[in-house]
Amino acid sequence: MPTATWWNLDGDKRARIVDAAIAEFGRRGFSAGSLNVVAREAGVAKGSLFQYFDDKLDLFASVCDACSRRIRDEMGIVMARRAGEHAELFPFLRAVLVDWVRYFEEHPDDRALTFAVNLEIDPEARRAVRAVTNAHYRDVLEELVSAAQARGELRPGASRDHLVAMLLLLLPHLALAPASPELDPVLELHRREGLDLEAAVTGFVDVLEAAFAVPAPPSAASDPHPSPTRGART
Amino acid sequence: MPTATWWNLDGDKRARIVDAAIAEFGRRGFSAGSLNVVAREAGVAKGSLFQYFDDKLDLFASVCDACSRRIRDEMGIVMARRAGEHAELFPFLRAVLVDWVRYFEEHPDDRALTFAVNLEIDPEARRAVRAVTNAHYRDVLEELVSAAQARGELRPGASRDHLVAMLLLLLPHLALAPASPELDPVLELHRREGLDLEAAVTGFVDVLEAAFAVPAPPSAASDPHPSPTRGART
Amino acid sequence: MPTATWWNLDGDKRARIVDAAIAEFGRRGFSAGSLNVVAREAGVAKGSLFQYFDDKLDLFASVCDACSRRIRDEMGIVMARRAGEHAELFPFLRAVLVDWVRYFEEHPDDRALTFAVNLEIDPEARRAVRAVTNAHYRDVLEELVSAAQARGELRPGASRDHLVAMLLLLLPHLALAPASPELDPVLELHRREGLDLEAAVTGFVDVLEAAFAVPAPPSAASDPHPSPTRGART
Amino acid sequence: MPTATWWNLDGDKRARIVDAAIAEFGRRGFSAGSLNVVAREAGVAKGSLFQYFDDKLDLFASVCDACSRRIRDEMGIVMARRAGEHAELFPFLRAVLVDWVRYFEEHPDDRALTFAVNLEIDPEARRAVRAVTNAHYRDVLEELVSAAQARGELRPGASRDHLVAMLLLLLPHLALAPASPELDPVLELHRREGLDLEAAVTGFVDVLEAAFAVPAPPSAASDPHPSPTRGART
DNA sequence: GATGAATGAGAGTTCATTCAT
DNA sequence: TATGAATGAACTCTCATTCAT
C-alpha cells in the first residue's frame, strides 16, 4: 500500500508518476517494466518511488487500481446512459459492450495496462491486481444479471453463474483482442473496424441471449433475435 | 528452430533439457525464466543450450511445440474414443471437455507451460508460440463444428464463427482456471472437484447447445437439454 | 556522452576511473578491453560504470577525449614556446616533432591509448574517436602551413594538401613507432635514443623541407639544408 | 605453423578455408573474428581447424601470409611490366602506386584483411603477421631505391632510409584510405575516383621526387616535375 | 521529504579449445 | 583424419533496492 507520503503529494506529481507507470507497465508488463524508466519519465528521483511505495509490486498494484478505477468511472457513466435507453438486459449489453470496445480503442494506455494485468504471470503480482478488478467486474455483472432475473428476462432453468462467468471471459477478450492478432484467430477482431467490429461484438450477446433469454412467444413472427448473430458472417 | 545438434542428441539428454525448460518456463514464464536454471536443472553447461537453440526464444518455442504436440496427441486419442460414444456435437463436447480438464489436472507441468504461453507478455514470444497452438485449436474446432453443421445439428442462422470463437476462449480457461483462483471468481473452478467440477464444465456446453443447437421439436416434452446447465447451482 | 552523474562525481574517483580505463584500453584496445577490469582496477562496482556512461563505447570515447585533450594542451604549451624560438615552418617543425616524440616517451599511457585509437578495428568505435582527433590535428596543421604559405616560405606550385597529409601520417607514426618494433623496420625508431632518435625524426622534416620549401638563393654556399637528412645514415 | 595435415589437404578445401578466414578476419579483425564463422563458411568442422593449425593465431598468420603472397605475386607482375615502361624510379613509382591502389579497389577482401593486419592491436598477433609483410615490403623497396641510387637518380646527400621509410608509410595508407573516411581527412581519398584519385596518389610521388631526385639542370626550362603535385589542388 | 550514487547479483550470449568417437 | 558435442569463463549490460546527504 502506498505510504502516507504518497497521498500528501502534489496532485500533479502523483498524476505524472501514475501516467509514467501505466505507460511503462503497459509496454513491458510488471516483471520486465523498469522503475528506472518510470522515474525518468515521471521526472522524479528513483529513490522517491520508494518513499511512496513499499516496492515495485506496490507501485504496480496502486497503478492498476487507479487505472481500473478510471475505467470503472467512465464505464459507469456510459452504463447509466445506456440503462436509460435499454430496459432489457441483452439490448443493454449490446450497447454497453460496443461502448466497452470503443473505450479501449480510445484509451490505448488503459488497454495496454489491462493487457499487462491479464498477462502477468508472477503469481503474487497477479493475485494482487486481479483480486480487485475481478471483484469489481463480478459485482457489476451479478447485479445486472440479478436485476434481469428479477424482471423475468432469464429462462428459469438457466445457470446464472455461467452467464456471469462467460461475460467475465468476454470482457477482457473484447477489450484486448482488437489490438492483438493472436487473441482471436477466428473472428479476427483486430482486422475489423466500425460497424463490422460492432457486429462481431454484438454477435457474442446474441449467443448469450439465445441461450439465456426467455424464448419469445411462438406466435411472434417478428422476433427480433431469433438466433445468435443474425447477419454476422457465417 | 533447434540446430541439427539438438536432433543428434542423446534422447535422454534431450528429455532432461525439455523437462527442465518446461518446469522453469512453467514456473516463471518466458521472460522471467532463467536459462541458468534450465541448464543447471538439466545438468548441462549453459553454453550447451546455445549449441542446440539459436536463443532463448528458440528454446521456448521448441519446448512449447513439444508440449503442445504432446497434448494434441493425447487429446487426439481421447477424442477418437469419445467420437465413438457420441455421434452428436454437444454431447461429444461435454465428454471431451471433461477429459480436457482432467488431462491438465493430471499433467501439472503441461498446464503450467500452457499458462505461461497464454500469459506471455513479450509480443515476439507470444506471437511465436501462439500462432502454432492457435492454428491447431482452430483447425480442430472448425472441423468439429463443420461436421456438426453438415449433419444438420446447428441452428441455420447461427454464427458458426462465434461458436468456434467461444470454444477457443473456453479451452484455455477450462485448462487453467481449476489451478488459478483468480481466473474464475464466479464459478470458482479451483475449489471444485470430481462431479462438481464436471458439472461446471458441462454447464458451459449447455450454454452453447442452447444457443446453437437446432431446437428440439415442439412436441418433445422430454427434451434432454431444454435449457443451459440444469442442475448447476443457480 | 557521459551522464550528469559522471560530472557530479568526486574528482578523485573520476580520475581513478579514467586512469583505469586508459590503462585497460591502452593495453588491449577497445574491443578486447574489459569493463570488468576497468571497474576492478578503479575500485568501483561494475554496475556503476553504467551510471556514468551509456555503454562501453561511451566510456571509451570519453576517455579518449580526455586523453587527447591532455595531449593537445601539453603540446599547445610546447608549440607556443617553440614558436618563439623558430619563426619559420620547418625549423619549428623539427623542434616540435622532437618534443612530440619526447612527450609520448614520457607518457606511455597516453601513447598506449593513442595506439589503441589508431588501431581500433571496430568501425563504429573508430569513427567515434578518430573524428575528433583527426579534426584537431588537421586544424592545427593547416593553420601552421597556411601561415608559412602566407609568409612565402612554401614553393608556389607545391600541393599544400599533400604536405598536411604527410604530416598527418607522420604524427601518429612518430608517436608510436619508437615503442613498436614492427612499425618502422627501416629506421628502427624503437632502437634509437636521444640524439640518434632526434636525427631520425628531424630527417623526416628535412624531406618535407626539400620538397616544399622555397629553394635557397643559388648564390648561398652555406645553404643550411641542402638536402634531406644530412647526417642520417644513408 | 600449419600442421603437415594442412599441406596434405585437398587444394580446394584449403582454398575454402583460406577464403573464409580472409573474409571473417577482414570483417572483424583477428581478436573479434570467430572460428565458428570460419568453419561454417568454409564448410568444415570446427574441430578440423585445430587439426590444421595450432590455434587461432596460427590460422590468422597463415592466412595473412597466403594473402600477402597473393598480393606480392600480382604486384610482381605489374611491377615487371611498369619497369619496362619507366626506366627511372619516380615515374615508375607513379605508375606502380596507381596500380597498387587499383589492386585494392579490385580486391576488397585483400584490402579488408590488410586493414585487419595493420589495425591488429594484440601484440603477439601483430608481431606475427607484420614481421613477414614488413620484411617483404622493405626488401622490394630497398632494392628499387638502391638501383635508382646506382643509376645516379638520387640526390647524393639524401637519406635513402627516409625515402624507404616514407614509402613504407605510404603503401598501406594508399591501400586503405580510399576505403576508410577517417584515414585521410585532408586529401579525402575515399571521395575520389579515377583520374582525381590518381592525381592525389601521384602527388605523393611528386613530393618524394622533389625531395630526393637529383635536381634537373638549371638550364632545363621544360623540367617535367619541377615541384610536387603540379596540378593537384593547392 | 527528496535525492541520486552505489551496489552486486544475474541476465543472455559468445568463444576458443578439447576430446571421445 | 575428421568430426561436432561439450565446456565454463568471459563478455556487456540491467535491475530493484538502499542509504547518506
The sign of the torsion formed by the CA atoms of D175, D180, D185, D189 equals: positive
Q: Return the closest-CA partner of residue D211 out of D186, D234, D231, D229.
A: D229
Chains meeting A at 3+ CB pairs closer than 8 A?
A: B
For the cut 50, the answer to whether the pLDDT of residue D3 exceeds it is: yes
Per-residue confidence (pLDDT) for residue D223, from 0 to 100: 46
Distance set, CA D223 to CA C19, D219, D226 (Å): 56, 9, 6
Domains and CATH numbers, chain B: 64-213 (1.10.357)
Distance between the alpha carbon (CA) of D62 and the C1' atom of F5, Å: 27
Using a pLDDT cut of 90, give the percent of chain D over it.
80
Distance between the alpha carbon (CA) of C46 and the C1' atom of E10, Å: 13
Helices then strands (H, E): number in chain D? 10, 0
In order, the DSSP letters of C63-101 are: HHHHHHHHHHHHHHHHHHHHHHH--SHHHHHHHHHHHHH
Amino acid at A134: N
For the cut 60, the answer to whether the pLDDT of residue C38 exceeds it is: yes
Using a pLDDT cut of 70, give the percent of chain D over it.
92
pLDDT tier at C218, thresholds 50, 70, 90: low
Task: With CB atoms and an 8 Å threshold, state whether A159 touches B186.
Answer: no
For the cut 60, the answer to whether the pLDDT of residue D213 exceeds it is: yes
Q: Once rounded to an integer, what is the mean pLDDT over residues D164-188?
A: 95
- Residues in chain B with pLDDT < 70? 217-234
More confident residue, B123 or D233: B123
Q: Return the closest-CA partner of residue A27 out of B31, B29, B27, B56.
A: B31
Q: Which residues of A touch B185 (CB under 8 A)?
A: 134-135, 138, 168
- What whole-number distance in Å separates Cα of residue A145 and Cα of residue A137? 12
Query: Exposed (0-12), middle (13-18) or buried (19+): which is A70, by Cβ within 10 Å?
Result: middle
Please check whether residue B158 is in contact with residue B188, taking contact to mean a CB–CB distance below 8 angstroms: no
| 0.75 exceeded by pTM | yes
- C173 is written with which cell numbers? 607514426
Helices then strands (H, E): number in chain A? 10, 0
Predicted confidence (pLDDT) per residue in B4-20, tens digit = 999 999 999 999 999 99
Per-residue confidence (pLDDT) for residue A207, from 0 to 100: 97
Q: Once rounded to an integer, what is the mean pLDDT over residues C103-123?
A: 94
For residue B119, give how far its alpha carbon lies from the nearest alpha carbon of chain A (Å): 4
- Residues in chain A with pLDDT < 70? 217-234
- What whole-number distance in Å separates Cα of residue A176 and Cα of residue A182? 10
- A200 is written with which cell numbers? 462481431
Q: Once rounded to an integer, what is the mean pLDDT over residues D58-77?
A: 94
Q: Is B229 left (phi over 0), alpha (psi -120 to 50) or beta?
A: left
Chains meeting C at 3+ CB pairs closer than 8 A?
A: D
Q: Once rounded to an integer, what is the mean pLDDT over residues C20-47?
A: 95
Q: Which of A131, A164, A210 sits opposite B210 (nearest CB)?
A: A210
For the cut 60, the answer to whether the pLDDT of residue C225 exceeds it is: no
For the cut 80, the answer to whether the pLDDT of residue C216 exceeds it is: no
Per-residue confidence (pLDDT) for residue D228, from 0 to 100: 54
Q: Which residues of A touch B169 (CB under 8 A)?
A: 169-170, 173
Per-residue confidence (pLDDT) for residue A128, from 0 to 100: 87
Nucleotide nearest to C50 (CA to C1'): F13
Nucleotide nearest to B45 (CA to C1'): F7
Amino acid at B145: V
- D53 is written with which cell numbers? 593449425
What burial letters (b/e) apply to B116-143, b meaning 16+ CB within 10 Å? Answer: bbbbbbbeebbebbbeebbeebbebbbe
Distance set, CA C129 to CA A196, B173, C16, C101 (Å): 57, 57, 21, 21
Biggest CA pair distance of chain D: 71
Task: With CB atoms and an 8 Å threshold, state whether B127 touches A184.
Answer: no
Q: Which of A158, A204, A234 sits opposite B229 (nearest CB)?
A: A158
**Residue C23: DSSP 8-state:** H
Chains meeting B at 3+ CB pairs closer than 8 A?
A: A
Predicted confidence (pLDDT) per residue in B172-215, tens digit = 999 999 999 999 999 999 999 999 999 999 999 999 999 999 98
Per-residue confidence (pLDDT) for residue A215, from 0 to 100: 82
More confident residue, C162 or C232: C162
Q: Is B146 left (phi over 0), alpha (psi -120 to 50) or beta?
A: alpha
Q: Which residue has the cell 616514407?
A: D166
Nucleotide nearest to B53 (CA to C1'): E13
Cβ contact B–D (≥3 pairs, < 8 Å): no
Distance between the alpha carbon (CA) of C56 and the C1' atom of F11, Å: 11
C13 CB and strand E closer than 7 A = yes
Q: Return the closest-CA partner of residue B212 out of B221, B204, B201, B222.
A: B204
Q: Which residues of B touch A203 (CB under 8 A)?
A: 159, 161-162
Averaged pLDDT of chain C: 91
For residue A167, give how far its alpha carbon lies from the nearest alpha carbon of chain B (Å): 10
Per-residue confidence (pLDDT) for residue D146, from 0 to 100: 96
Task: With CB atoms and an 8 Å threshold, state whether A181 touches B230.
Answer: no
pLDDT tier at C158, thresholds 50, 70, 90: very high
- A167 is written with which cell numbers? 461475460
Task: With CB atoms and an 8 Å threshold, state whether B204 touches A166.
Answer: yes
Q: Once rounded to an integer, what is the mean pLDDT over residues D84-103?
A: 97
Distance between the alpha carbon (CA) of D23 and the C1' atom of E16, Å: 19
Predicted confidence (pLDDT) per residue in C41-78, tens digit = 999 999 999 999 999 999 999 999 999 999 999 999 99
Choose from B138, B143, B145, B162 for mutation: most chain A CBs within 10 A: B162
